Structure 1
Amino acid sequence: MQPIEKESVQRQLQTFFNKEVYVHLETTNGAYASHFNEKVMTVGAFIRNAKVHIKQGKITGDHPYRVGLEMEIGWVYAEGLTDWELNNQGQLLLAGHDFEGRLAVALQLSETPFA
């Protein structure tokens, strides 16, 4: 992965507009959380291969970044994104890594289901 370049990511996001695509979205502090500190709450969310129709979307912010994707009846939103790549299957992979390089958030789009 490489650091996000807003214009490049926006161009890639646009290739998924007005199509049914598969979304992977996850957030985590799971293995990185302090499970023995009652003042730290462990949180996470995970969805894989949700099939959605994306109407439009945009990347905003100044490192870390936010991506919002408008669907027919709602939104998908990810914040804290730092890195991206377009893999050889045409899947757009966006991730947010903390200062130690650990994954905190991932948003991925594909025209085919994720393995």
Structure 2
Amino acid sequence: MHELSITQSILDISLQAAQQQHARRIKIIRLQLGQFCGVVPECVQMYLDVLAKGTIAEGAKIEVIEVPLRVRCLDCGRESDIDRRHIECPFCKSIRLKRLSGREFLVDSLEVDT
């Protein structure tokens, strides 16, 4: 359910940026989402469809740029991308990891009509 308030923020940011560029319509909102940010893109799209009615973002589509979960192993010092099924260093199998990326959540860019 937290996607509702998140989507409202995305819409507010997008409308403000589009207004600064004198856009007539927002067609695409591109988001950078880390694999572990906890946001479900399909829910964001569903809420955007409702929240954007009557605005220049009505009908806008969400596109996601996925940011991988990148870690540094605290035992062997190597960096790698991992996923939810293999939360360990692929080199030494340690689970002592420092997260370098994967929790990002930001509006990356907009595609608009001017």
Shorter-normalised TM range = under 0.3
Q: TM-score, normalised by structure 1?
A: 0.25
Q: Point out which structure has higher relative CO (alpha carbons under 8 A, 6+ apart).
A: 2
Which one has a bigger Cα radius of gyration? Answer: 2
Q: Structure 1 or 2: larger strand share? A: 1
Q: Structure 1 or 2: larger helix share? A: 2
